[in-house]
Amino acid sequence: MNKIRNFCIIAHIDHGKSTLADRLLEYTKTVEGKDLQAQVLDNMDLERERGITIKSHAIQMEYMYKGEKYILNLIDTPGHVDFSYEVSRSIAACEGALLIVDAAQGIQAQTISNLYMAIDNDLEIIPILNKIDLPSAMPEEVEDQIIELLGVKKEEIIRASGKTGEGVYDILDAIIERIPAPEGDPEAPLQALIFDSVFNSFRGIIAYFKVVNGSLRKGDLVKFINTGKEYDADEVGVLKLNMSPRDEVQCGDVGYIISGIKTSKEVKVGDTITHVKNPANKAIAGFEEVKPMVFAGVYPIDSEDFEDLRSSLEKLQLNDASLTFQPESSVALGFGFRCGFLGLLHMEIIQERLDREFNMDVITTVPNVSYIVHDKKGNKKEVHNPAGLPDPTLIDYIEEPYIRASVITSTTYIGPIMTLCLGKRGILIKQEYISGDRVEIIYDIPLGEIVIDFYDKLKSISKGYASFDYHMHDYRESKLAKLDILLNGESVDALSTLTHVDNAVTFGRRMCEKLKELIPRQQFDIAIQAAIGAKIIARETIKAVRKDVTAKCYGGDISRKRKLLEKQKEGKKRMKQVGNVEVPQKAFLAVLKLD
Ligand SMILES: Nc1nc2c(ncn2[C@@H]2O[C@H](COP(=O)(O)OP(=O)(O)OP(=O)(O)O)[C@@H](O)[C@H]2O)c(=O)[nH]1
């Protein structure tokens, strides 16, 4: 066991985690020659394309140090806020962490939040100044930031480049010298922490774990403590580039188990595996259900595809337990599902996977958060869809989720960022200088406001020099009202939103203006109205037009006419008929596009 090192890499998004991980695999000869393609660990197509890590992965390397062979288990973690629960589980499976900081960008919001998580788990931190090959690198300055943040000595910071390979051997040596070997009792009852699971269409669900105490052998009868389910360990092994079966995974090591688990719901990240015979008397602490925070309706464009959509969502869920869905129906959109996501990026990814992997054409409605509605009889219920809100006369009050957000930026942008946060009903908690002209601002903001267009605005007003991280904080009472949109007098439930009463009128007006831009003119006038209850607060009209696309091709060229009509039909595919009005998909997301 003293020859094992378990570590993870933590960093702000795009600071070069995956690239550096590739170098570690290359320098330890874990991958060679033809297998060496960029970002080996990001094996989902989507991950490669977007250059982001969505699921965490683990891989075992061997490294000779002073004539002895060591086993290094690298647990790769996703960098985006939506997936921070996975980061925290991966961190719990390690004894050390490489903290990567981009030498050109310096410390960012997620550098700090992930670092705190690592410190909470007592990990040994190895600070790495990455991308020092960049002409824009500011090694001295960023080193000062790291020293201030961690209280380390300058010599402890390793300068490296995932691109040129500089410093990679120093990192490998430091992993062995500085990170402690795992502790644990090989003779004690089995306790293995599940930190991830994946769905493989041939093998079913594969769970990744770290053995904290005891050991796990092939054929053992095991139990997952939190779900209470029992399985035969059909196959256990360690994770090389591919799975590598073993008879036993020992105390301290990281491995996988295949055991006839049917759905990803049965495997909960953070759960503990033990033996049915001689079980451990308790789970390893730190298990938490991941709860979706952002909800949106997902509807098939063609209502006949409803069952296909259900089976696609079921398949996606096998792979991604954090996705939830429930059938719902909308007057405007027909039958569909209300899906729950961890955040906006997660939502985008699911939408894209539906399109790519399942060829599903869907309309997604405006995302919203979950509200707690207290009625006058003293009951409370969680509402995931503004359209599902009880009648206003029955509501006593509504609570909405607040996040605690940390924004790191340069002092130049403090003014505009504070204005933005204020406009989003944010409450300033504190403001702290990090080093030089960098400052961290902490705000409590309603999640519902972030969901709409916070990221984009933050990025544009800070010209990209602001990073953002958040975690759920609490629920607070807010004065919210349901804003309905009517098209030719018919309320479109899929366009309803909950908004703060003080902003309702401006918001309603802007919605109407935006919809006027987005809905194409049709052969009759269309009235767009915004209403709260029975009260109309804004109105726009789209004037009628008569458009005949074939008008231009007089003469008898029927094939050309047909082509034009076909083209027009294509364009219509992304439209949805609401009453007598044809509404394009992008109109359902109008609220995201308000200026
Ligand atoms: N010049 C230079 N570029 C680098 C270096 N390391 C990574 N990059 C580039 O920086 C970008 C981000 O690198 P990734 O390795 O994908 O970053 P990441 O931290 O894994 O990103 P997430 O997985 O999304 O968190 C890519 O375009 C890399 O090519 C480096 O040492 N030098």
Q: What is the CATH number of the domain that holds 445?
A: 3.30.70.240
Are the C-beta atoms of 58 and 89 separated by less than 8 Å? no
Question: Does 583 map to a domain?
Answer: yes
What CA–CA distance (Å, rounded) separates 65 from 62? 10
Q: How far is the CA of 130 from the centre of ligand 1 (A)?
A: 9
463 and 523 fall within a common domain? no
CA distance 193 to 268: 10
Taking the centre of ligand 1 as the mean of its atom positions, its distance from the CA of residue 98, in whole angstroms, is 15
Instruction: Please give the pLDDT value at position 56.
Output: 44
452 or 172, higher pLDDT: 172
- 53 band by pLDDT with thresholds 50, 70 and 90: very low
pLDDT, residue 306, reads 92
Question: What's the rounded Cα separation, in Å, for the pair 27 and 133?
Answer: 18
Asked whether the beta carbons of 218 and 243 are under 8 A apart, the reply is: no
The domain boundary, picked from 478, 503, 528, lies at: 478
Q: Are residues 162 and 18 in the same domain?
A: yes
CATH number of the domain enclosing 170: 3.40.50.300
| Token pair of 382 as six digits | 């969680």
Q: Measured in angstroms, how far is the CA atom of residue 101 from the centroid of ligand 1? A: 11
Share of the chain above pLDDT 70, in %: 87
Q: How many angstroms does the Cα of residue 96 sit away from the middle of ligand 1?
A: 21
Q: How confident is the model at residue 51 (pLDDT cuts 50, 70, 90)?
A: very low
Owning domain of residue 494: 482-592
Domain boundary pick from 315, 339, 365: 365
Residue 330 lies in a domain: yes
Q: What is the pLDDT of residues 303-339, one digit of tens each?
A: 889 999 999 998 888 767 778 899 988 877 889 999 9
Establish if 232 belongs to a structural domain: yes
| Residue range 180-201: mean pLDDT, rounded | 88
Cα 15 to ligand 1 centroid, rounded to whole Å: 5
Weakest-pLDDT range from 2-6, 138-142, 435-439 = 435-439
Q: pLDDT value at position 562?
A: 67
For residue 492, the domain's CATH number is 3.30.70.2570
More confident residue, 18 or 336: 336
Statement to judge: residues 34 and 172 lie in one domain: yes
- Specify the residue for token string 């990221």: 455
Closest ligand 1 atom to residue 164 Cα is 31
Q: Are residues 298 and 315 in the same domain?
A: yes
The per-residue pLDDT for range 420-469, each reduced to its tens digit, is 999 899 999 999 887 777 889 999 999 988 887 787 788 888 877 788 88
Cα–Cα distance, 496 to 588 (Å, whole number): 10
> Token match 């003469």: residue?
555
Please give the number of the atom of ligand 1 that sits closest to the Cα of 42: 23
Q: What is the pLDDT of residue 55?
A: 45
Distances (CA, A) of 220 to 79, 236, 250, 289: 35, 10, 13, 27
Instruction: Please indicate, yes or no, if residue 289 is contained in any of the structural domains.
Output: no
Specify if 183 maps to a domain: no
Q: Report CA(137)–ligand 1 centroid distance (Å).
A: 14
- Whether the predicted pLDDT of 547 surpasses 70: no
In ligand 1, the atom with minimum distance to the C-alpha of 80 is 25
Ligand 1 atom 14: the closest Cα is on which residue?
Answer: 16
CA–chain centroid gap for 290, Å, is: 12
Of all protein residues, whose CA lies closest to atom 32 belonging to ligand 1?
131
Which residue puts its alpha carbon closest to atom 9 of ligand 1?
16
Residues above pLDDT 90, as percent of the chain: 37
Nearest CA to ligand 1 atom 30: 131
State the DSSP code for 282. Answer: S
Residue 185 lies in a domain: no
For residue 96, give the nearest of 212, 213, 10 by alpha carbon: 10
- Supply the pTM of this predicted model: 0.71
Q: Is 472 found in the same domain as 377?
A: yes
Closest-lying ligand 1 atom to the alpha carbon of residue 160: 31
Protein residue with least CA distance to atom 24, ligand 1: 52
Which residue has the CA at smallest separation from atom 10 of ligand 1? 16
Average pLDDT over residues 65-89: 77
Contact between 520 and 568 under an 8 Å Cβ cutoff? The reply is no
Of 41-45, 330-334, 500-504, minimum mean pLDDT range: 41-45
For residue 387, the model assigns a pLDDT of: 80
Q: How far apart are CA 95 and CA 302, in angstroms?
A: 51
> How much is the pLDDT for 84?
62
Q: Residues 448, 367: contact at Cβ < 8 Å?
A: no
Assess whether pLDDT exceeds 80 at residue 576: no
What domain count does the chain have? 5
Ligand 1 centroid from CA 349, angstroms: 20
Choice from 18, 80, 86 to test ligand 1 binding pocket (greatest atom count within 8 A of CB): 18
Considering the domain architecture, whether residues 236 and 298 belong to the same structural domain is answered as no
Here the CATH number for the domain that contains residue 347 is 3.30.70.870
CA of 392 to the centre of ligand 1 (A): 50
Q: Pocket of ligand 1, candidates 13, 19, 74, 105: which has the most ligand atoms within 8 Å of its Cβ, to mutate?
A: 19
Pocket-testing residue among 8, 12, 14, ligand 1, by greatest number of atoms within 8 A of Cβ: 14
Instruction: Show the ligand 1 pocket: residues with CB < 6 angstroms.
Output: 11, 13-19, 51-53, 79, 130-131, 133-134, 161-163
Rounded distance, CA 535 to CA 548, Å?
38
User: Same structural domain for residues 43 and 142?
Assistant: yes
Query: Residues 93-110: what's their mean pLDDT?
Result: 91
Shared domain check, 68 and 24: yes
Are both 464 and 500 inside the same structural domain?
no
User: In 10 A of CB 213, how many CB atoms?
Assistant: 19
For 343-352, what is each residue's pLDDT tens digit? 777 888 888 8
Binding-site residues for GTP sit at 14-19, 130-133
For residues 579 and 474, state if they share a domain: no
141 and 82 fall within a common domain: yes
Min mean pLDDT across 43-47, 127-131, 298-302, 529-533 is at 43-47
- Say how many Å lie between the CA of residue 287 and the centre of ligand 1: 31
Residue with more model confidence, 264 or 493 = 493
Residue 19 CA: which ligand 1 atom is closest?
Answer: 15
**Residue whose CA is at the smallest distance from ligand 1 atom 2:** 131
Residue 247 pLDDT greater than 70, yes or no: yes
Give the nearest ligand 1 atom to 22 CA: 15
Predicted confidence (pLDDT) per residue in 368-426, tens digit: 898 999 999 999 998 888 888 888 888 899 999 999 988 988 888 999 999 999 989 99
Binding residues: 14-19, 130-133
- What pLDDT does 42 receive? 52
Ligand 1 centre to CA of 568 (Å) is 43
Asked if 424 and 558 sit in the same domain, the reply is no
Q: Which amino acid is at 88?
A: S
In a domain, 547, yes or no: yes
Which atom in ligand 1 lies closest to the alpha carbon of residue 11?
19
Last residue of a domain, one of 316, 348, 365: 365
Q: What is the pLDDT of residues 349-369, one digit of tens each?
A: 888 888 888 888 888 888 889
Q: Is residue 434 part of a domain?
A: yes
DSSP assignment letter at 190: P
